[in-house]
Chains A and B, each alone.
Chain A
């Protein structure tokens, strides 16, 4: 992994205005994305993982705004962008996105060939037969058989998995540097999911992409990610290499998330479940947002937000448990099952 950040988020705060109230969706997040890596952002719905990545492309809804912080990309601060014109220099050509539902992210009135060529014309400045040739090449790359015939078809003539391939083709056609995959396989069957993940991995290699996966499926994360960031209530609570987060997690939320995997459960026993509900982001959060649901919470967790403690040069977690003064808490016994190779097969 190359250690130069291609994109750097610093102390980002994003707020939304909803029904006269302010919702603090992203709370002081800092994150470096390294060139060529695959980073997975995991979290439950409402944890802010989509809002964070949409901010990289200026795609958040109009009732949301960046309160403070920076998103540095190639020497520019994306957080300071104000006009659509500025964003158009980033969207597609620099950062492209693959969305969850291929049923809704394609234009039903245009052939898929036309939709891919459109991206090529806009971002690679190729036209005519050259664009056609390129389009066929990309369709081949994403594993669509008989590209010449398929290019003339409309989205409704494709199955879900094939449509997601088309969406990926459009993203690739823009020749981006960063590919953001927002739950790219959630709407798909497992066998199709395996194929799409394999395809994305091939394309990442071929086009030398930096990839961000947003997902709540820890199985997918383990399969694709070099690094994993765990989000809770608009904040990154733990980040580290894939092995560090899965095998040596330090934040109680990460423990809880991993423990509730059905793969770790034993039949007849209750599955581990996190008590309570995620916090209300309309209210200002004091201390560690996970504290009310955390059985290991310390007094300070309710009072002061924990800083990031370094576990290793690549691994850090935002929990007071890592403070030298904190009592020693063992991670849940059940997580050892993750390490046993083959135990989950």
Chain B
């Protein structure tokens, strides 16, 4: 990934707060990253880490408490013009986790898929709208006839395809996929992953792929950011992250992923990440680029240790 390219989406020191104004709880505590056009950017973390909150802040469901979200260089959080709002709504779409819960049970597929068009492209005639819906359904491998059916008539994998068609119909550029396959079976999961990859190839989509499943992320993501308790702790190209994780949390996370091979069984006790290894009382941690394209959170002392590790690695190879 060349870093000189203009990012499609930039998140700058984003904070998202919940709860009372006077005693807010920060679910996202100062997060910065760039997503470049055409790439799949992964955000991995455990439940409650704030990964979904970031996704939702980007599509403007949650308001940012501080920081900026830039889409093609334009600020899209906070108060923005109606025109920009409409553009952002169209260009940034979301695919949700649970296809059993994210589709309106009382609406037909036709309406579910075209609902966004009713809001953003009001000028479309009935025929044009129908054409767009049919094209979106075909693109995800469903038949246009399905438009007149209700969601309960479909299997989980098909429902997730409907969810994807709903995003496609808006002709977006950037798609936030929030755990799009965790609710699916193994074989269906592969179909949906392939579909996402195919669509990216055909239409040049950029994805923010939010997940807790590192084995899936390794397959689909170009770069991965690891989030822990509302802060990014490490960000690197996928293979770098898997081969040379630096942050202890990334290491714990990677070691916990079960390998589907009986000879590589984890016999010993799992690595547990202990936050108290960081002494941030005096020396505050900073988010720095420790080697090209590899960002990490650490204080000066830790950074020195990470650098030593890195030079050891490069000497060893």
Q: Which residues from chain B contact A216 at a C-beta distance below 8 Å?
A: 185-186
Distance A256 CA – B272 CA, assembled complex (angstroms):
34
Query: Which residues B86-131 have CB closer than 8 A to chain A?
Result: none
Q: Which residues from chain A contact B260 at a C-beta distance below 8 Å?
A: 218-219, 221-222, 246, 258, 261, 263, 338, 344
Q: Which residues from chain B contact A294 at a C-beta distance below 8 Å?
A: none
Contact B258 A222 (CB under 8 A): yes
Distance A288 CA – B188 CA, assembled complex (angstroms):
21
Question: In this assembly, does A292 line the interface, its C-beta being within 8 Å of a C-beta of chain B?
Answer: no
Query: Which residues B265-301 have CB closer than 8 A to chain A?
Result: 265-266, 269-270, 272-273
- Specify the chain A residue showing the minimal Cβ separation from B213: A190
Given the interface contacts A191-B272, A219-B257, A262-B215, does A242 sit within 8 Å of B262 by beta carbon? yes
Distance A160 CA – B212 CA, assembled complex (angstroms):
15
One digit per residue, 1 when the CB lies within 8 angstroms of any chain A CB and 0 when it does not, for chain B 30-64 equals 00000000000000001100000000000000000
Question: In this assembly, does A122 line the interface, its C-beta being within 8 Å of a C-beta of chain B?
Answer: no
Question: In this assembly, does A145 line the interface, its C-beta being within 8 Å of a C-beta of chain B?
Answer: no
Question: In this assembly, does A270 line the interface, its C-beta being within 8 Å of a C-beta of chain B?
Answer: yes
Question: In this assembly, does A311 line the interface, its C-beta being within 8 Å of a C-beta of chain B?
Answer: no
Question: In this assembly, does A195 line the interface, its C-beta being within 8 Å of a C-beta of chain B?
Answer: yes
Q: Which residues from chain A contact B266 at a C-beta distance below 8 Å?
A: 194, 198, 223
- Specify the chain B residue showing the minimal Cβ separation from A189: B46
One digit per residue, 1 when the CB lies within 8 angstroms of any chain B CB and 0 when it does not, for chain A 254-270 equals 00111011110101001
Q: Which residues from chain A contact B213 at a C-beta distance below 8 Å?
A: 190
Contact B258 A217 (CB under 8 A): yes
Q: Which residues from chain A contact B219 at a C-beta distance below 8 Å?
A: 262-263, 265, 267, 271
Contact B214 A338 (CB under 8 A): no
Q: Which residues from chain B contact A339 at a C-beta distance below 8 Å?
A: 261, 263
Given the interface contacts A189-B46, A216-B185, does A274 sit within 8 Å of B258 by beta carbon? no
Contact B191 A273 (CB under 8 A): yes
Contact A344 B259 (CB under 8 A): yes
Q: Which residues from chain B contact A221 at a C-beta distance below 8 Å?
A: 260
One digit per residue, 1 when the CB lies within 8 angstroms of any chain A CB and 0 when it does not, for chain B 236-277 equals 001000100000000011011111111111100110110000
- Specify the chain B residue showing the minimal Cβ separation from A267: B219
The A contact surface, by secondary structure, is: helix
Contact B258 A262 (CB under 8 A): no
Other-chain contact of A44, B47, B185, B214, B262 (Cβ < 8 Å) = B185
Q: Which residues from chain B contact A220 at a C-beta distance below 8 Å?
A: 258
Given the interface contacts A243-B263, A261-B260, A277-B155, does A190 sit within 8 Å of B218 by beta carbon? no
Q: Which residues from chain A contact B304 at a C-beta distance below 8 Å?
A: none
Question: In this assembly, does A309 line the interface, its C-beta being within 8 Å of a C-beta of chain B?
Answer: no
Question: In this assembly, does B194 line the interface, its C-beta being within 8 Å of a C-beta of chain A?
Answer: yes
One digit per residue, 1 when the CB lies within 8 angstroms of any chain B CB and 0 when it does not, for chain A 209-246 equals 00000001111111101000000000000000011001
Contact A270 B216 (CB under 8 A): no
Distance A99 CA – B141 CA, assembled complex (angstroms):
35
Distance A217 CA – B155 CA, assembled complex (angstroms):
20
Distance A120 CA – B249 CA, assembled complex (angstroms):
39
Question: In this assembly, does A45 line the interface, its C-beta being within 8 Å of a C-beta of chain B?
Answer: yes
Distance A345 CA – B269 CA, assembled complex (angstroms):
18
Given the interface contacts A216-B186, A270-B194, does A345 sit within 8 Å of B264 by beta carbon? yes
Question: In this assembly, does B193 line the interface, its C-beta being within 8 Å of a C-beta of chain A?
Answer: yes
Question: In this assembly, does A30 line the interface, its C-beta being within 8 Å of a C-beta of chain B?
Answer: no
Question: In this assembly, does A272 line the interface, its C-beta being within 8 Å of a C-beta of chain B?
Answer: yes
Question: In this assembly, does A193 line the interface, its C-beta being within 8 Å of a C-beta of chain B?
Answer: yes
Given the interface contacts A260-B187, A277-B155, does A222 sit within 8 Å of B259 by beta carbon? yes
Q: Which residues from chain B contact A217 at a C-beta distance below 8 Å?
A: 258
Question: In this assembly, does A342 line the interface, its C-beta being within 8 Å of a C-beta of chain B?
Answer: yes
New A-B pairs, 11, CB < 8 Å, besides A270-B197, A339-B261, A341-B261: A44-B185, A189-B212, A195-B270, A219-B259, A223-B259, A258-B260, A262-B193, A265-B219, A271-B219, A338-B261, A342-B264
19 contacts between A and B (CB under 8 A): A44-B186, A190-B46, A190-B212, A190-B256, A190-B257, A195-B272, A216-B185, A222-B258, A261-B260, A262-B218, A263-B215, A267-B220, A270-B194, A270-B197, A277-B157, A341-B261, A344-B260, A345-B259, A345-B264
**The 6 A-B residue pairs with the shortest CB-CB distance in the complex, in nearest-first order:** A219-B258, A194-B270, A273-B190, A189-B46, A194-B256, A260-B190
